Structure 1
Amino acid sequence: MAAHARRLCHIAFHVPAGQPLAQDLQRLFGFQPLAVREAGGWRQLALRSGDAIFLVNEGAGPGEPLYGLDPRHAVPSATNLCFDVDDASAAARALATRGCRVPVPPVNVRDAQGTATYAVVSSPAGNLSLTLLERAGYHGPFLPGFGPVSSKADSGWVSHVDHLTLACMPGSSPKLRRWFQDCLGFHHLPLNPGEDPELGLEVVVQSGHGGLRLTALQNPSGSVVPTLVLAESLPGATNRQDQVEQFLVRHRGPGLQHVGLYTPNIMEASEGMAVAGGRLLTPPKAYYQQPGKEGQILAAGFKPSLLARQGILLDGDKGKFLLQVFTKSLFAEDTFFLELIQRQGATGFGQDNIRALWQSMQEEAARGQKA
């Protein structure tokens, strides 16, 4: 039996003391403090934007941080996905019977606002662990053990997490797909009609120079869990690393490469982040000069010059469109980044946009090598 996730509670990060992730999320990307806990050598700060919650675990205590696991990873990293489940103890037992490692068996936590139970399970996706959380009996602002933090009003830029993308080793997507299917109840979401789940969607970014394989997974209807995307590199005839290969090297293994944050107004969100100092990835100039691109943008109700100014990508047809913009890495190691996404009926991820992202990251890496 799978441990069915009902909702994504939060995404946890591990950073050393003094690393500016929490400050950057507030100052540059509109997140606001929600709750904090300081104990055992850890400072744990939960930040919210809409329904998207990031938990920044800062420090390195002798024990484990509450609701997670210290992976002792070599670089700052997104390390944990916390999912609401109906029964954390039963879910942990079910996964243990499937051979999953449960480094943190069920733990009960209580404060004046109620109780919660959680367990932490290791995943086959590098340093990423999964927390199974049962909190129906809790009525506080976040989780037991955390104190509330007063903050200003939410910026309103982001409403929820749209998707989570894992950078995977070449050839590992089928194994990871089966693990998330068998253990957490995910199932294959075709990005193309008739797509083979073993092959996923192959996006050739340049003839003879490799590309990306994307496999999308979703939870059963009725749950509020973001789409999970597995990304791996296709073999190519170039010595230059693509975005997934770069992540694997700099992150020192597979892991959570980026989080797609849904925004109802990508123009307002990207402009607000840019004004605040957030660094957005610039797509190649040729992207907006592609044949038919101007008409496509106009058909979606936007001005090409405004999208180009903000670096916003647009893909789609037949009245269904997708808009995306990507930040540069939130870490000095040039690994994890954020994506803003606005959907106008489109459900996929835009093959043309994937190629543009690949090319812009290649150009960004080349600029860094020249600096």
Structure 2
Amino acid sequence: MDIRGIDHIELYVGDARQAAHYFSTAVGFEVCGQGGPETGLAGQRSLLLRHGDIRLLLTSGLTAEHPAARYVRRHGDGIAVVAVAVDDVVAAYTELVGRGATGVTPPTSRGGADDVVTAEVEGFADVRHRLVQRRGDRADVLPGLIAPTEPTGQAHPPVLAEIDHLAVCVPPGQLDATARHFAGLFDFAQVFEEHVEVDGQGMNSTVVQSPSGRVTVVLLEPDLGRRPGQIDAFLDQHAGGGVQHLGLRTDDIITAVQTLRGRGVRFAGTPASYYDGLEARVGPLDAPLDRLRELGVLVDSDHDGQLLQIFAESVHVRRTLFLELIERRGARGFGSGNIKALYEAKERELASRAATPEGVGA
């Protein structure tokens, strides 16, 4: 199946306006569309945001029984729809249903023309797949339902380029089935797999990717033979599987982190000792070590090059969904080497503090 890329991501949130305020003022998105009962979106309020080639649709239910309201009650704020771009929605929808997908919304022309056609099928967990076909230069996400808004004139210059990947946590025993879901329906290929074990915690990871290479999903499953870790915590707080984080690619992570931090985005801290021996671990660095240390940017490498990454703290009540910033300098991986390196660095830091006499140092 020909999937050209991710068209947009739809989040179901408790308060679309509040969520839009964070994404616009802190992350740098611009609100460029809105919809609700007045535009034909019964029982919901939606706001469309854009930053570079990244489009987010934030939707809140206005009634208790709206799907967005039910989703938020069960999972909290989270990604509910992954919309992918295809050349022919009718053909793609027919093919998916023929392969066993459950249809949710049949092909529908939006805006009274065939400029934009959409359809939906059930996906994994409570996440749906939306198919989007655009003709010409039509850029509306849902024409006729999301009305364009006038530019505010306060848009920030984009420091993020596109969606790099989605990371999905699945309950124990569902990793292979979820990978088969993407392979069987969308012809995704498995491009990477590994087992990560640190301090008695363990997880299995499989990466699947569309034939075009434009859509990548990282699947994470906890190892029940090890003590509970972050994947278990997500599954508990999220009440089941779902998207744990959204990886956003940048061409300049140093500038991106500086910019977003200046606007109020909080990033996960990195122990100072992580940078001890960093070059010995990943090779000569493509960025100044002192700047990486100052900003807390992580570095990993594979045989294709290096990647730089950092994780933002979740701003959601359940501390589930969060953002990752990633800059690829040839590397195709996802920074798995940082899991062990971060743990070992934290252990060294704790040991150093324990060896420091009380009242000396920080």
The one of 295, 299, 310 aligned to 1:310: 295
Q: 1:134 to 1:319 in 2, by over 3 A?
A: closer
Residue 336 (structure 2) pairs with residue 351 (structure 1): yes
Q: TM-score, normalised by structure 1?
A: 0.83
The size of the alignment, in residue pairs, is: 337
Corresponding residue number in structure 1 for 2:217: 228
Q: 1:265 to 1:16 in 2, by over 3 A?
A: same
* CA distance in structure 1 between the aligned counterparts of 2:343 and 2:130, rounded to whole angstroms: 32
* CA distance in structure 2 between the aligned counterparts of 1:6 and 1:17, rounded to whole angstroms: 31
Corresponding residue number in structure 2 for 1:29: 27
**Cα deviation, residue 143, structure 1:** 3.4
RMSD over aligned Cα atoms: 2.6
Contact 1:13 1:78 in 2 (8 A): yes
Gaps of 5+ in 1: 191-199, 363-371
* CA distance in structure 2 between the aligned counterparts of 1:6 and 1:319, rounded to whole angstroms: 24
Gaps of 5+ in 2: 348-362
Aligned partner of 2:323: which letter?
L
Corresponding residue number in structure 2 for 1:203: 196
- Please identify, of 340-349 and 15-24, the stretch whose mean Cα deviation from structure 2 is larger: 15-24
Aligned partner of 2:9: which letter?
I
Q: How does 1:84-163 map to 2 (within 5 A)?
A: 84-110=85-111, 115-123=115-123, 125-136=124-135, 139-145=138-144, 146-149=146-149, 150-151=151-152, 152-163=154-165
Aligned partner of 1:35: which letter?
G
Contact 1:283 1:356 in 2 (8 A): no
Per-residue CA deviation, residues 289-346 of structure 1 (Å, 9 max, x unaligned), is 3xx3145678223232321221110112668211000001131110000000011111
* CA distance in structure 2 between the aligned counterparts of 1:63 and 1:155, rounded to whole angstroms: 39
* CA distance in structure 1 between the aligned counterparts of 2:108 and 2:205, rounded to whole angstroms: 36
* CA distance in structure 1 between the aligned counterparts of 2:299 and 2:204, rounded to whole angstroms: 20
The one of 204, 220, 226 aligned to 1:213: 204
Q: What is the percentage of aligned positions where both structures have the same residue?
A: 31
Q: How does 1:228-267 map to 2 (within 5 A)?
A: 228-238=217-227, 241-267=228-254
Residue 285 (structure 2) pairs with residue 300 (structure 1): yes
**Cα deviation, residue 286, structure 1:** 3.2
Q: Find the structure with the greater CA-based Rg.
A: 2
Corresponding residue number in structure 1 for 2:350: none
Corresponding residue number in structure 2 for 1:194: none
- Please identify, of 31-40 and 145-154, the stretch whose mean Cα deviation from structure 2 is larger: 145-154
Per-residue CA deviation, residues 105-142 of structure 1 (Å, 9 max, x unaligned), is 2222115x86322111111x211111011222562444
Corresponding residue number in structure 2 for 1:366: none
Per-residue CA deviation, residues 210-264 of structure 1 (Å, 9 max, x unaligned), is 322111111113x6x23111111123443xx322111111111100111110011
Corresponding residue number in structure 1 for 2:352: none
Q: How does 1:159-178 map to 2 (within 5 A)?
A: 159-178=161-180
* CA distance in structure 1 between the aligned counterparts of 2:131 and 2:195, rounded to whole angstroms: 32
Aligned partner of 1:80: which letter?
V
**Cα deviation, residue 265, structure 1:** 0.7
* CA distance in structure 2 between the aligned counterparts of 1:185 and 1:318, rounded to whole angstroms: 26
Contact 1:34 1:141 in 2 (8 A): no
* CA distance in structure 2 between the aligned counterparts of 1:13 and 1:142, rounded to whole angstroms: 14
Q: TM-score, normalised by structure 2?
A: 0.85
* CA distance in structure 2 between the aligned counterparts of 1:228 and 1:88, rounded to whole angstroms: 21
* CA distance in structure 2 between the aligned counterparts of 1:361 and 1:29, rounded to whole angstroms: 28
